[in-house]
A and B are shown apart, each in its own frame.
Chain A
């Protein structure tokens, strides 16, 4: 709540981001109510029509209504983006806290793994993984998540080290609380805010990565309305029917901008020095 008050008062851009995200989320939830057409309904006679009164955003290469596909597509695209960032967040937070709390050998091992993951850029892992293991929903989520893990490990480890120097951690240790209890009850709640700001930014990046994979032909099955997959089939018609890729790309950009604006505002909120 305090965050909301801050955004309302101090950050117009953060509020704009939040508004964009909420608009997209309600669009995804209400897809079956607001979409004018069935997103799977192909009318080959209407293929690749530019925007018209019947089809406000035109039709795709199989004559399906683009607006309806974009509205339904938000569901799958957000599912992929949110699941992959939360997976990375959970794994990265666990490893980061363990590494910062236990130090020693665990720290060294986690550090080594992080360095290796960092030198294998996320997009490279994602391309290899999806190309070889197949572009299923789960594989896409895993592939995108792997690339985000090192960022969370680094963030959370640094935040844990800061928390560790606080007196209440020393006190909890002296009281004889188990390491697990201290990590879950005292370290985790104090490092979470740092991760949440990053989370917002990364959901946007995940949407971008998914659409990039789609562009390379590594999206879901093209019959499924998903933004990345739509990009993958639209790029073959870029000179014949540029409106498809222009519109879908603009929607992807707008949603990613929403998450990026909110993420930056949240980061400023957590670290007032940067305001």
Chain B
């Protein structure tokens, strides 16, 4: 039995764990070296020093930083992320209550983005140089440049406030997904179209496609059978690389549409100086990021056996 793929995955798992620990440590210092005493902020500015000290003791803020860090890291390994200061509920509960909402919204947005981008990208390549191609290409530059809060607010003003067609925010039925998911899909679809178009242009030049055309296959069949399939891999890769964009639009979109997801949770917890909740939320975001990348790496190894020799894909674009 060939054990190489297993070694490969094991190695990636180990580096994944290291990255997450690194994230936790950097975040810890970012939070704890910030100016201002969190206990004072929690207690309110009129609070007596005794009250502030009680809070420091309660949250372990009176201990030296490295002790606090070690405590946090050991608790983290046991998946104990502490208690939220705002709600006094376990951080894991708070996150688990919101995470599915974010994942659902992001999934709908990604599916929409792919459903729009793949056909547009392939068609633009098939009609390279045409007006349609120029319009699609222009959209790829414009789509990424629209501020997410603005796209969201414009959609909200038009479809919720003016036309009363869709809810302005909150979570509920499928109609609540429409505006926020479109808002999130716009910035991710633009680069997917670009990459799909480029990949499709390359595939259209390949001998097997020319042969298929020469064989008398209709353009439609060629595009569906050969071009779309080959353009899919770079498009999927891009979604892993677009994670930062996705998180940015999730944070803003969830705030615009009062969507109870982890993006909004993160913003709320930072403003409330709820350090355990901030740490927990960012920890979960980092885990999702490394997990997506691990999944992509495994997918590449499955798709392209040449990578099984252990060549690192870490630096790919």
A interface residue numbers (CB < 8 A to B): 13, 17, 111-113, 115-116, 118-125, 127-129, 131-134, 147, 154, 157-158, 204-205, 208-209, 211-212, 215-217, 231, 235, 238-239, 242, 245-246, 249-250, 252-253, 256-257, 259-261, 264, 274
**A and B contact pairs by CB, cutoff 8 A, 7 listed:** A119-B20, A119-B290, A127-B266, A209-B248, A215-B147, A235-B149, A245-B153
Residues of A within 8 A of B27 (CB): 120, 128
Decide if A260 touches B142 in the complex (CB within 8 Å).
yes
With A111-B315, A116-B26 known to touch, is A131 a contact of B147 (CB < 8 Å)?
Answer: no
With A13-B141, A122-B244 known to touch, is A132 a contact of B19 (CB < 8 Å)?
Answer: no
Give the bracket for the number of chain B residues in contact with chain A. Answer: 35 or more
Q: For residue A248, which residue of chain B has the nearest CB?
A: B150
With A132-B31, A158-B315, A260-B141 known to touch, is A215 a contact of B252 (CB < 8 Å)?
Answer: yes
Binds A, one of B45-53, B207-215, B278-286: B278-286
Chain B: minimal CB distance from A158 (Å): 7
**Alpha-carbon separation in the docked complex, A211 to B248 (Å):** 12
**Alpha-carbon separation in the docked complex, A174 to B161 (Å):** 71
- B97 contacts the other chain (Cβ, under 8 Å)? no
Residues of A within 8 A of B150 (CB): 211, 245, 249-250, 252-253
Residue of B22, B144, B161, B282 near A124 (CB, 8 A) is B282
**Alpha-carbon separation in the docked complex, A212 to B150 (Å):** 9
Decide if A120 touches B147 in the complex (CB within 8 Å).
no
Residue of B134, B244, B282 near A147 (CB, 8 A) is B244
Decide if A242 touches B157 in the complex (CB within 8 Å).
yes
Residues of B within 8 A of A116 (CB): 19, 22-23, 26
For chain B, residues 132 to 152, give those with C-beta under 8 angstroms from any C-beta of chain A: 134, 137-138, 140-142, 144-150
Chain B: minimal CB distance from A216 (Å): 6
Residues of A within 8 A of B19 (CB): 112, 115-116, 119
Decide if A123 touches B23 in the complex (CB within 8 Å).
no
Residues of B within 8 A of A154 (CB): 315, 317
Q: For residue A217, which residue of chain B has the nearest CB?
A: B271
Decide if A216 touches B145 in the complex (CB within 8 Å).
no
Most buried by B among A17, A204, A264: A264
Decide if B147 touches A249 in the complex (CB within 8 Å).
yes
Residue-wise interface mask of B (109-153) relative to A, using a CB-CB cutoff of 8 A (1 in contact, 0 not)? 000000000000000000000000010011011101111111001
Decide if A123 touches B145 in the complex (CB within 8 Å).
no
Residues of A within 8 A of B35 (CB): 132-134
Q: For residue A100, which residue of chain B has the nearest CB?
A: B315
**Alpha-carbon separation in the docked complex, A158 to B312 (Å):** 14
Chain A: minimal CB distance from B265 (Å): 12
Residues of A within 8 A of B251 (CB): 123-124, 127, 212, 216
Decide if B142 touches A257 in the complex (CB within 8 Å).
yes
For chain B, residues 13 to 38, give those with C-beta under 8 angstroms from any C-beta of chain A: 15, 18-20, 22-23, 26-27, 30-31, 34-36
Residues of B within 8 A of A274 (CB): 198
With A128-B30, A132-B34, A257-B141 known to touch, is A249 a contact of B153 (CB < 8 Å)?
Answer: yes
Residues of A within 8 A of B166 (CB): none
**Alpha-carbon separation in the docked complex, A132 to B149 (Å):** 22
With A246-B154, A256-B147 known to touch, is A121 a contact of B243 (CB < 8 Å)?
Answer: yes
Most buried by A among B18, B141, B267: B141
**Alpha-carbon separation in the docked complex, A245 to B152 (Å):** 12
Question: Does more than half of chain A's interface fall in helix, strand or loop, or is it mixed?
Answer: helix
Q: For residue A12, which residue of chain B has the nearest CB?
A: B134
Q: For residue B146, which residue of chain A has the nearest CB?
A: A253
Decide if A120 touches B26 in the complex (CB within 8 Å).
yes
Q: For residue B287, which residue of chain A has the nearest CB?
A: A119
Most buried by B among A13, A120, A127: A120
Residues of B within 8 A of A209 (CB): 248
**Alpha-carbon separation in the docked complex, A252 to B150 (Å):** 9
**Alpha-carbon separation in the docked complex, A238 to B138 (Å):** 29
- B83 contacts the other chain (Cβ, under 8 Å)? no
Residue of B142, B282, B315 near A157 (CB, 8 A) is B315
**Alpha-carbon separation in the docked complex, A45 to B98 (Å):** 44
**Alpha-carbon separation in the docked complex, A119 to B142 (Å):** 26
Decide if B157 touches A128 in the complex (CB within 8 Å).
no
Decide if B317 touches A158 in the complex (CB within 8 Å).
yes
Residues of B within 8 A of A111 (CB): 314-315
Decide if A208 touches B147 in the complex (CB within 8 Å).
yes
With A147-B244, A249-B150 known to touch, is A259 a contact of B22 (CB < 8 Å)?
Answer: no
Residue-wise interface mask of B (252-272) relative to A, using a CB-CB cutoff of 8 A (1 in contact, 0 not)? 100100000000001100110
- B301 contacts the other chain (Cβ, under 8 Å)? no
**Alpha-carbon separation in the docked complex, A127 to B267 (Å):** 8
Decide if A212 touches B289 in the complex (CB within 8 Å).
no
Q: For residue B190, which residue of chain A has the nearest CB?
A: A260
Given contacts A119-B19, A274-B198, 7 further A-B contacts (CB under 8 A): A118-B243, A119-B286, A120-B282, A121-B285, A154-B317, A215-B255, A253-B145
